[in-house]
Structure 1
Amino acid sequence: MRLSYFSTKAIETLRASIQANLKNYTSEGFDEFVNEPDWTVSLSLEVDLGPLSDLDPSGTPQAEIENSILVWRALSAVKPSLAYEEGIWTRLTHVECLGYSRQRWLEGLGSQEKIESAISKHFFAPSLGGRRDDNALARLWFNGYIANQIARDDFDSLKTILRRADSRLSFLERSLTVSRPAIAAGVIRASEKYDWINSTQSTFRDFMKVLNKLGGGRVFEVMTEAEIDEFMTDCALRAGMSSG
C-alpha cells in the first residue's frame, strides 16, 4: 500500500481540538475524519504496515526493542528527509496505530489534564526532538535507524543504546556518531566493553562529548576496528573513566 500522511490543515485542526476530541483518542477513533477533504495525502512510496499490528504497548525495555524492529520492518523505506515530516507520524498515531498509541501512552493516566498533555506530546511531532524522542511511532523509527546505521539491521545493538533513555538521547544528539556507521559501531563496542560508559546519566554524555570533540578531524572509514576501539578507550579515559 502507499504511505499516507496528514496535511498541515489536518494537523492544525487536530492539534487545536485535543480537548474536544478526547473521546476519539480514548475510545472512538478518528475514522470519521480520515475522509475529510484535503486531510489525507497519499505518497508514491509503497510500504507494508502489517508488522505494526503486532506492536506491544507494555513499555518494557524488551518491548521497545521489538517494537523498534516492527516499525523498521514496516517503514525502512522512509528516508530521514521524509521522516522529518510531521504528517506521517501524526497520521499513524491517529489512524493505523491509534490502538497502540492509546494503550502505550494514555491508559492509566487518570486526569483529563494528563491525558491532554500526553496526546500533545505523543500523538504529534512538531519538532525534531518531538519526532526523535516523543512521538509514539517516530521514536521507534529512529531506534531502527540507529541500528541500521551501526550495522545493517543490527538490532542487538539497540539493547546497549536503550539500556538508558539518556544514553539513547545523547547518542542521537551527536550527529557525528549517527551519520557515520564506523563510529557508531565503535561506540557500541566500547559501551559493551566498559560498564563505566553507561553507568550513570552523565558518564555516557561526557563520553560522547569527548568523542564528538576529538573525532571531528579523523577519517574513521579508513581506520581498522582495533584503531577505532583504541580511540574509544582514549575518549572514555579523557571523559573520566578510571584506568585501573
Structure 2
Amino acid sequence: MSNLQLFRAQTVAQLFADVAKNLDLYRSGDFTDLLHDQSHFLDSSCTTDEEALKKITSTKENDNEVACCLHILQAIGGVSSYLARDERLWARLCHIELLEYARTRWPIPANDEKAVTHIKKHFFAKGARGIERDNAASRLWWMATICNKVEGLPLDQALTAFLHQSDVRANIVERPTTSQNATLLSSVVNKLHESYNGDKALYEREKFRAVMKNLNLEGGVRLLEVLGSKELKKLVEKVSK
C-alpha cells in the first residue's frame, strides 16, 4: 500500500479548460508528464493498492463492472466518504492510473465537439451526479460502497443484482431513502437477486419504477427507518407483486 497524491485544484481546472487541446492525449496518449512536476500534486491520507488498480480493466466485449467495483474497493476501500466526493482524487485516477480503463469503458466519440463533452463528463467529476454516476472511476467506488451495505448476500452477488440494469440502479441511487437505509437497501437488492436468478421480471422498467413508487408511498405513511429487516422484507415482497 502507498499514499496516493491528489491533483491540485488548479491542475484539475487547467485540464478541464484544455480538454479540446488534449484530445489526442485522451484518445491514444497519456498524461504521465504530469508526474514529473510535483507542483501538480497534493499529499492526501488516501492509501492505495497499486496492484488492485491495475486489475481495473474493460474491453469492448465486456465492461467487467462487477470485478472492477471489487478491485477499486480493494484498491482504495479505506477512503473516507468526504474524500470520495473530492474531484481531485477521481480526476487524478482517470488521467493517470485508470486512463486506459476510462477510455476503453467510455469510448471517446470521433466527433471532436462530442468528444469534449464526453471527456468532461467521464474523466472529471462535477457535482454529486458527476461523482456518483458519471466519472469513470468514482462511480465504481460508489456502487461498490452502496452494495457493501447489503446484508444477506456476498458483495459480488449484490453487485451483480444491482448492476444488471442501469435504470434499476439509477432508481436506487437517486432515492436516498433507499440507498442510505442499509436494511431497506438489503431487502430491495435481495429481492432483485431473487429476480435475477429467476425470470428477471423485476428488472422491467415500469415494474421496478412502480415498486419504488409504492415504497415511497409507504414511507409517507410510516417511518421505514424504524422497521426491522423482517418487516421491510415483507413490505418489499408486498410492493413487488
TM-score w.r.t. structure 2 length?
0.87
Give the whole-Å Cα distance in 2 for the aligned partners of 1:56 and 1:205.
Answer: 32
Query: 1:68 Cα shift?
Result: 0.8
Corresponding residue number in structure 1 for 2:150? 150
Give the whole-Å Cα distance in 1 for the aligned partners of 2:135 and 2:206.
Answer: 25
Give the whole-Å Cα distance in 2 for the aligned partners of 1:10 and 1:60.
Answer: 34
Matches within 5 A, 1:154-193: 154-193=155-194
CA shift in 2, pair 1:50/1:182, >3 Å: same
Matched, 1:223 2:228: yes
> Which among 189, 199, 203 is matched to residue 198 of structure 1?
203
Query: 1:62 Cα shift?
Result: 6.5
> Which among 207, 211, 216 is matched to residue 212 of structure 1?
216
Query: 1:47 Cα shift?
Result: 2.2
Give the whole-Å Cα distance in 2 for the aligned partners of 1:159 and 1:42.
Answer: 35
Percent identity over paired residues: 26
TM-score w.r.t. structure 1 length?
0.86
Matches within 5 A, 1:1-244: 1-36=2-37, 38-58=39-59, 63-106=64-107, 109-151=109-151, 154-193=155-194, 195-199=200-204, 201-215=205-219, 217-218=222-223, 223-225=228-230, 227-236=231-240, 241=241
Name the SS of the counterpart of 2:45 in structure 1: strand
Query: 1:235 Cα shift?
Result: 2.4
Q: How well do the aligned residues superpose, as a CA RMSD in angstroms?
A: 2.3
| 2:42 aligned partner, one-letter code | V
CA shift in 2, pair 1:224/1:98, >3 Å: closer
- Decide whether the 8 Å contact of 2:158 with 2:193 is kept in 1: no
Give the whole-Å Cα distance in 2 for the aligned partners of 1:144 and 1:153.
Answer: 12
- Decide whether the 8 Å contact of 1:9 with 1:38 is kept in 2: no
Give the whole-Å Cα distance in 1 for the aligned partners of 2:239 and 2:191.
Answer: 10
Give the whole-Å Cα distance in 2 for the aligned partners of 1:234 and 1:37.
Answer: 57
| 2:202 aligned partner, one-letter code | I
| 1:142 aligned partner, one-letter code | W
| 1:173 aligned partner, one-letter code | E
- Decide whether the 8 Å contact of 1:106 with 1:115 is kept in 2: no
CA shift in 2, pair 1:4/1:206, >3 Å: farther
Give the 4+ runs in structure 1 shifted more than 6 A: none
- Decide whether the 8 Å contact of 1:89 with 1:138 is kept in 2: yes
Give the whole-Å Cα distance in 2 for the aligned partners of 1:19 and 1:186.
Answer: 45
CA shift in 2, pair 1:126/1:62, >3 Å: closer
Q: Which moved more, 1:151-160 or 1:23-32?
A: 151-160
Query: 1:10 Cα shift?
Result: 0.9
The number of aligned residues is 234
Give the whole-Å Cα distance in 1 for the aligned partners of 2:83 and 2:182.
Answer: 20
Give the whole-Å Cα distance in 1 for the aligned partners of 2:168 and 2:49.
Answer: 31
